[in-house]
Amino acid sequence: MSGTYTHTMKLISGNSNRPLAEAISSYLDVPLTQCSIKRFNDKEIFVEIMENVRGKDTFFIQSTSFPANDHLMELLIAIDALKRGSARRITAVIPYFGYARQDRKTGGRTPISAKLVANLITAAGADRVLTLELHAGQIQGFFDIPVDNLISGPVFVPHIRKTYADRPLCIISPDVGGVVRARALAKRLKADLAIIDKRRAEAGVSEVMNVIGNVEGKSCILVDDIVDSGGTLCNAAAALKKKGALDVAAYVVHGVLSGEALNKVANSPLEKLVITDSIAATDEMKKSPKIEQISIAPLIGEASLRIFEERSISELFK
């Protein structure tokens, strides 16, 4: 990217995923704007943008990953600081949008937290949102500002093609909610599709009821938006092996990997778990031999550039 752009485009990183922000910065050849994020004694957050942003097109990069509430609050306060610093436009770049799974009432007197978080980001002063693989596409409608919801296809498809060339492939949706994502990937890869009938007796505990489709003798690739406890993927992998799958791997956009997830994955029939860097990898994740992280920095960088230059983003996915 030409150096002249650096005068008007400002990239700022929150604390949630500095390595990704640095990779986006180097893709765009735009330095990260100096920004200080401090905690008062009572843990209140204070943000100070250390460079002039008046009239600039600003991009604040922050995943609302663990600790979700701190990172969300940092994002809101940074947006407020940019707004009060007279930024011309503020794009909240949220590679992993937490709270997305709370996108509907699941019972009486329960919240729709994804909507609340969308309201908070809008009220703080964001002009637009750039995110990746929202848990449900409809969450875009929770915002009354433009949302660009990138898909992971351009990152996963070449990797799958390279790794599984010449093997009989079957793309697997680990639950009914993920069928649209899995079908789109299967279409791009000209692969078969199968679906797992998953039930949840309670939050965080999943059970496979059935495998719908023929997986016998095929290399099965589970695709999902989130791996959290790992239960969904590991149970699905075991069920697929039982039905005669040749081998099972998983491609998941957001590696939340909380609690015992890493052990579960290590002890499961999953051959490999490929995740993106939408959430910064912990040291334990980096050490796990089954986990491979691929970067979304070029995709997010390119989409940011297109927002800045007012060019089409959908062209990226043709």
Q: Is 67 in the site for ligand R5P (CB under 6 A)?
A: no
- Cβ neighbors of 23 (< 8 A, separation 6 or more) are 277, 295, 297, 301
Ranges of H-type helices in the chain: 18-28, 68-84, 113-124, 153-163, 179-189, 231-242, 261-266, 283-287, 297-308
The site for ligand R5P, by CB under 6 A, has a size of 16
Q: Is 133 in the site for ligand R5P (CB under 6 A)?
A: no
Instruction: Report the C-alpha gap between 243 and 267 in whole angstroms.
Output: 19
Backbone CA torsion sign across 279, 24, 181, 166: negative
198 classed as catalytic: yes
- From residue 46, alpha-carbon distances to 4, 73, 74 in Å are 31, 10, 8
Q: Which residue number, 6 or 102, has a Cβ lying nearer to ligand R5P?
A: 102
Q: Is 285 in the site for ligand R5P (CB under 6 A)?
A: no
Q: Which of 10, 56, 198, 264 is catalytic?
A: 198
Q: Is 231 in the site for ligand R5P (CB under 6 A)?
A: yes
Number of residues in the chain: 318
Q: Are 62 and 35 in contact (CB under 8 A)?
A: no
User: What is the phi/psi pair of residue 306, to 5°?
Assistant: -70, -35
Q: Is 228 in the site for ligand R5P (CB under 6 A)?
A: yes
- Closest contact distance (angstroms) between CB of 135 and ligand R5P is 6
- Closest contact distance (angstroms) between CB of 224 and ligand R5P is 5
Site for ligand R5P in 150-179 (CB under 6 A): 174-175, 177-178
Options 32-40, 207-215, 222-230, 236-244: segment touching ligand R5P (CB under 6 A):
222-230
Q: Which residues of this chain interact with ligand R5P, rule CB under 6 A?
A: 101, 174-175, 177-178, 204, 206, 224-232
Supply the residues annotated as catalytic.
198
